[in-house]
Amino acid sequence: MTNGTSDLTVWLVIVVLGIGTFLIRWSFLGTLGDRELPEWVLRMLRYTPVAVLPALVAPLVVWPAATGGQPDPARMAAATVTVAVGLWTKNMIGAILAGAITLFGLLYML
Amino acid sequence: MSPTPRPRPDARQPLADGATPSSGQMFRRGAVKSLPFLIVMIPFALLFGVVALEAGMDVAQVLGFSVLVLAGASQFTAVQLLSDNAPVIVVILSCLAVNLRMAMYSASLVPWLRDATAPQKAWVAYALVDQSYALSIQEYEANPRMALRQRLAFFAGVVTVVCLPWMVFSWLGATVGRAIPDDIALDFAMPITFLAMIAPMLRTPAHLAACFVAVLGSLLLAGLPSGLGLLIAAPIGMATGAAVEAWTGRRARA
């Protein structure tokens, strides 16, 4: 690499990260398959997508990397419009388009 | 037949009643539903190739990342940390922390894919990314009576459209080395697609509560090192959803 990290080091990172990431993804699916999960676990797992994905992007919405972590009205508005349209229409593509139009519209105007 | 988790009424484009689509039809359905993600995936993949190339990696290493690791956020993290001369162990642990959320995806798919063979589960695990997880779980919940073969076919359709271009275009980015302008606000493509994917799933007070608490938690814990805040906030949100569900008396039958 440009900073002198050796090719071997980069490949070590790639291979270890590849194996580790696979084991994370395989963990429960690969090992728990034949057992019944307890009811309370199943109940919690039903909320995995609606908890993980919004929590993953919330900091990116409030403190965008592109603005150096400064809250940005255009990005906040775009996120709000996306969620509102998604909730209202249940249409993913419509929500993406509404959010993108809001973002680019506001970035252009501001 | 695989046991079907609790069926629920759902407004999100359920399959027609009594229809039993073939595996091929489900594969195509998965592929078509994934097409919007290409708008995000292609520029991001190109960007990864360009960034990694600028950091001094060769094309084989870029492709190694996108094929062996296959996890966008952690790939960018790895390149960033390697450029910063971080110790290898720090690079690996940080990137694995970024990917730990996928253990929750893995657990969440168990009720739907438990009867798959070990090799099938290994393939699903390999290709379990945010997009393939979110689209598949959405489809499984909307059509709980789908057979295992159809579920796997749908997943395969999604993966073909979501994961293959990730590899191809990161390779292309590293090969062509084309600069992508910074001012087109690509940083925001991922948040918008994820929010658009999740909003239609917020259909009960329990889902709203889970989402709200997880978001609040992740914002309060945003100061913690990479991925750690999420790993605390998300389970609290999930527990909140479960508690609200129990409280509102929506008894579940697994």
Output the six-digit token pair for B230: 């999420």
User: Mean pLDDT, to the nearest integer, of A23-34?
Assistant: 87
Q: B249 and chain A: CB distance < 8 Å anywhere?
A: no
d(CA B190, CA B195): 9
Contact B234 A37 (CB under 8 A): no
Q: Which residues in chain B have Cβ-Cβ distances shorter than 8 Å to A106?
A: none
Q: With bands split at pLDDT 50, 70 and 90, how would you rate the model's confidence at B162?
A: very high
Please give the DSSP secondary-structure letter assigned to residue B68: I
**What pLDDT, on the 0 to 100 scale, is given for residue B11?**
41
pLDDT tens digits, one per residue of A43-79: 888 888 888 888 888 988 999 877 888 899 999 999 9
Residue B134 distance to chain A (closest CA, Å): 7
**What pLDDT, on the 0 to 100 scale, is given for residue B59?**
93
**What pLDDT, on the 0 to 100 scale, is given for residue A102?**
95
Contact B192 A52 (CB under 8 A): no
pLDDT tens digits, one per residue of B4-17: 455 444 444 556 55
Contact A30 B99 (CB under 8 A): no
Is pLDDT of B226 > 70?
no
Output the six-digit token pair for B37: 């993600």
Q: B148 and chain A: CB distance < 8 Å anywhere?
A: no
Contact A5 B56 (CB under 8 A): yes
ipTM above 0.95? no
**What pLDDT, on the 0 to 100 scale, is given for residue B93?**
82
Is pLDDT of B161 > 80?
yes
- Work out the angle between the directed axes of helices B148-176 and B23-34 (0-180°, nearest 10): 40
Q: What is the pTM of this model?
A: 0.74
pLDDT tens digits, one per residue of B49-58: 887 887 889 9
Q: Which of A6, A56, A97, A110 to mutate to test the interface with B (most CBs of B within 10 A)?
A: A56
Q: Which residues in chain A have Cβ-Cβ distances shorter than 8 Å to B65?
A: 14, 17
Nearest to A77 by CA among A59, A52, A51, A101: A101
Q: Which residues in chain B have Cβ-Cβ distances shorter than 8 Å to A1?
A: 55-57, 82-83
SS (H, E, C) chain B: CCCCCCCCCCCCCCCCCCCCCCHHHHHHHHHHHHHHHHHHHHHHHHHHHHHHHHCCCCHHHHHHHHHHHCCHHHHHHHHHHHHCCCCHHHHHHHHHHHHCHHHHHHHHHHHHHCCCCHHHHHHHHHCCCHHHHHHHHHHHHHCCCCCHHHHHHHHHHHHHHHHHHHHHHHHHHHHHCCCCCHHHCHHHHHHHHHHHHHHHHCCCHHHHHHHHHHHHHHHHCCCCCCCHHHHHHHHHHHHHHHHHHHHCCCCCCC
Is pLDDT of B118 > 90?
yes
First to last CA, chain A: 39
Q: Which of B78, B188, B193 sits opposite A17 (nearest CB)?
A: B78
Domain locations in chain A? 1-35, 48-109
Mean pLDDT lowest for which of A95-99, B64-68, B120-124, B181-185?
Answer: B181-185
Contact A25 B39 (CB under 8 A): no
